[in-house]
Amino acid sequence: MRIIDLIREKRPALSFEFFPPKDDIGFWDLYRTIESLKAVEPTYVSVTYGAGGGTRRKTLDLVARIKSDIGIESMAHLTCVDATRTELGETVDDLKARGIMNILALRGDPPQGQETFRATEGGFSYASDLASFIRERHGDICLGGACYPEGHPETPDLSKDLDNLKRKVDAGVDFLITQLFFDNDDFLKFRDRARGVGIDLPILAGIMPIVSVKQVKRFTQMCGAKIPAGLLRRIEAVEDDAEAVRHLGIYHSTQQCQHLLEQGVAGIHFYTLNRSTATRAIYQLIKVGL
């Protein structure tokens, strides 16, 4: 089923994101983790797409198994990294042949060792190009797109970033998922700005509970998000106590989610980092109030 139809049918959408492990043992461990989520009835589960071909086949296999064997709706991420339009077309065809009707169209990060993104010869430079290509090839596929409440790290001008997002939406994207953020005001102001330029698609809030101080600092530096000063002080004060950091992370994310739901968010998308325990705890806490 198309995710956009699920979102329209019942809001808010609640979903989990995973990345495919590199080996078979990790693959089946993750499969069992996702299988256990069926009891909490997520709207869908998404699987990221490895650059350079390392985990791409595992992404396709895992997404297909989540839908066909586990019975949870699934979405595959697809990037422009190191791929020609011919290769991307074949991947999209393969996904549809496997019954996957949902794709998150992304440009992707520069491959390791490259500071800036360079399009592959015969490939695409922007997510909007990829979205348009998929929409023309298979008009019935549901397309998700990424957005950045604090601005894309390569486009610090928020107005220009919105112009870029509008092009992606005009290319045929059905719904949007934000990059992770820790201050709800950033999301709410972004949502208002998006509506102001005519972007009226459902926008799902990307939430990542903090489980490691070093890890969250690295991630926010990469994606251009910020950690509010008060939250940063609290987690740094217990940085050497992993359990205390985890509890603080769950508490903050739960408060975020509850407030977002009160503000009528279309959905919440959990970045699990393949650690479903924290996100599942938050999910169950907020599910009680729905």
End-to-end CA distance of the chain: 23
- The answer to pTM > 0.85 is yes
Q: Decide if pLDDT at 290 tops 70.
A: no
Which comes out higher in pLDDT, residue 52 or 89? 89
Tell me what pLDDT residue 287 has: 75
pLDDT category at 289 given cuts 50, 70, 90 is low
Quick: pLDDT tens for 182-193.
Answer: 999 999 999 999
Average pLDDT, the chain: 92
The neighbouring-strand residues paired with 76 are 47, 103
- Percent of the chain scored above 70 by pLDDT? 96
Say what percent of the chain tops pLDDT 90.
Answer: 75
What per-residue confidence (pLDDT) applies to 268? 97
Structure tokens at 112: 């390791």
CB hemisphere CA count around 88 (13 angstroms):
33
Cis peptide before 153 (omega within 30 of 0): no
- What's the rounded Cα separation, in Å, for the pair 136 and 251? 43
Which residues are known catalytic residues?
Answer: 17
Residue 169: its H or E element:
helix 158-170
- CATH code for the structural domain at 3-287: 3.20.20.220
Do 157 and 151 meet the contact criterion of CB atoms below 8 Å apart?
yes
Q: In the predicted model, what is the mean pLDDT of residues 243-271?
A: 96
**Confidence (pLDDT) at 50:** 67
Confidence of residue 113 (pLDDT cuts 50, 70, 90): low
Q: What is the pLDDT of residue 73?
A: 97
pLDDT exceeds cutoff 90 at 109: no
pLDDT (average), residues 234-249: 96
Nearest by Cα to 204 from 276, 141, 142, 117: 142
* Per-residue pLDDT at 222: 86
Give yes or no for residue 139 having a pLDDT over 80: yes
Q: What is the pLDDT of residue 48?
A: 93
pLDDT bin (cut points 50, 70, 90) of residue 110 is: confident
pLDDT value at residue 257: 97
Confidence class for position 51, pLDDT limits 50, 70, 90: low
Mean pLDDT of 201-220: 95
* Whole-number Å distance between alpha carbons of 70 and 42: 12
Q: Is the per-residue pLDDT at 25 higher than 60?
A: yes
Average pLDDT, integer, range 220-225: 89
Residue 146 belongs to what H/E stretch?
A: strand 142-147
- In 3D space, the residue among 176, 260, 249, 193 whose CA is nearest the CA of residue 219 turns out to be 249
Q: Which residue has the higher pLDDT, 155 or 241?
A: 241
